[in-house]
Amino acid sequence: MKNKNISFWLFILPALFALTVVVFYPFFYGFYYTFTDWNGLTATTFLGLENYVNVFQDERFLDSIEFTIKFAVVSIILVNLLGLGLAVLVTQKMKINNGLRTIFFMPNLIGGLILGFIWQFIFKSGFDAVGQMFGIEFLQGWLATSETGFWGLVILNVWQYAGYIMIIYISYLQSVPQELLEAAEIDGASIFQRFWRIKFPLVAPAFTVSLFLTLSNAFKLYDQNLALTNGGPYGSTEMLAMEIYKTAFSRYEMAYAQSKAVIFFILVAAVAISQVYVNKKREVDM
């Protein structure tokens, strides 16, 4: 027993060491910097909680929190709806299933920056050309206002992640026991009843995974944001990660940015943990 313990700890030591050096140590060091006026090179004075007080009076930061939450809510709903929809579609008995799966998953293989630029072209030039051809004003001037910027980001994100989330739903849908479905069919359940009463509850664990993935992804989104709108117009589509980056690397307020990042970390951690907790509880009930 004793030997087993020692070897256990010995085996874990290298990983623990690596983690300490590259994760824990920088994390706590960064945390320490938030109490100083660190500018990236030197820290001269100890400020206490001043940075944190300022963060909560920083309108730009608060705006970006609001924008990020708005974006997260809308895109989580849409990504999951579309992902589930696609999963149901490609698990029907069709010949082109595999082809469709590949196509739906494809956007996920393209890097965020490239996607951002592709969609920027679509929104700015593609939409504009179609709009001019058919005289649809709605399609013109996309990304020039904060509303179109917001929806542009949502569309991009949904398009990219729906395929990925679809894969998760597919695996759960396929593990639904055939005999249940057959029994229901014999009992005269319609296709909708079979979906809502049998498949949907059995797929519930997938929601935990999918919601967690889409949630943390929506909060941490950066490269698509950078490539598509770069926060414009007038910083109104600036998400949290980008706001923090800009504070650090274009205004050079490193310590201040670090304290924003700590708040960002707490926010993401809190949301993600409570979401997993709630979902886990619900799974058991079903």
- Report, in Å, the least distance between residue 106 CB and other proteins: 27
Scanning 77-85, 104-112, 200-208, 225-233 for contacts with other proteins by CB under 8 A, the matching segment is 225-233
**Considering beta carbons, is residue 1 or 96 the nearer one to other proteins?**
1
Handedness of CA 61, 66, 68, 69 (dihedral sign): positive
Tell me if 27 contacts other proteins by CB under 8 A.
Answer: no
Query: What is the Cα–Cα distance from 199 to 172, expressed in whole angstroms?
Result: 9
- Report, in Å, the least distance between residue 241 CB and other proteins: 15
Tell me if 24 contacts other proteins by CB under 8 A.
Answer: yes
Residues 30-49 that bind other proteins (CB under 8 A): 39-41
Angle (CA) 226-232-236 rounded to 5° is 110
Structure tokens at 125: 């030039």
Residue 269, class by beta-carbon neighbours within 10 Å (0-12 exposed, 13-18 middle, 19+ buried)? exposed
Tell me if 196 contacts other proteins by CB under 8 A.
Answer: no
Tell me if 106 contacts other proteins by CB under 8 A.
Answer: no
Tell me if 132 contacts other proteins by CB under 8 A.
Answer: no
- Of the candidate residues 7, 9, 183, 283, the single one contacting other proteins (CB under 8 A): 9
- Report, in Å, the least distance between residue 122 CB and other proteins: 13
Scanning 24-32, 68-76, 103-111, 156-164 for contacts with other proteins by CB under 8 A, the matching segment is 24-32
Is-contact 52 34, C-beta < 8 A? yes
Structure tokens at 240: 């949290």
Partners of 46 in the beta sheet? 36
**Considering beta carbons, is residue 50 or 279 the nearer one to other proteins?**
50
Is-contact 118 107, C-beta < 8 A? no
Tell me if 142 contacts other proteins by CB under 8 A.
Answer: yes
Partners of 36 in the beta sheet? 46
Query: What is the Cα–Cα distance from 98 to 280, expressed in whole angstroms?
Result: 32
Tell me if 131 contacts other proteins by CB under 8 A.
Answer: no
Tell me if 197 contacts other proteins by CB under 8 A.
Answer: no
Q: Residue 168's closest CA among 207, 194, 197? A: 207
| N-to-C CA span, the chain | 40
Tell me if 20 contacts other proteins by CB under 8 A.
Answer: yes
- Report, in Å, the least distance between residue 25 CB and other proteins: 5
- Report, in Å, the least distance between residue 8 CB and other proteins: 9
Q: Is the peptide bond before 26 cis (omega within 30 degrees of 0)?
A: no
- Report, in Å, the least distance between residue 13 CB and other proteins: 8
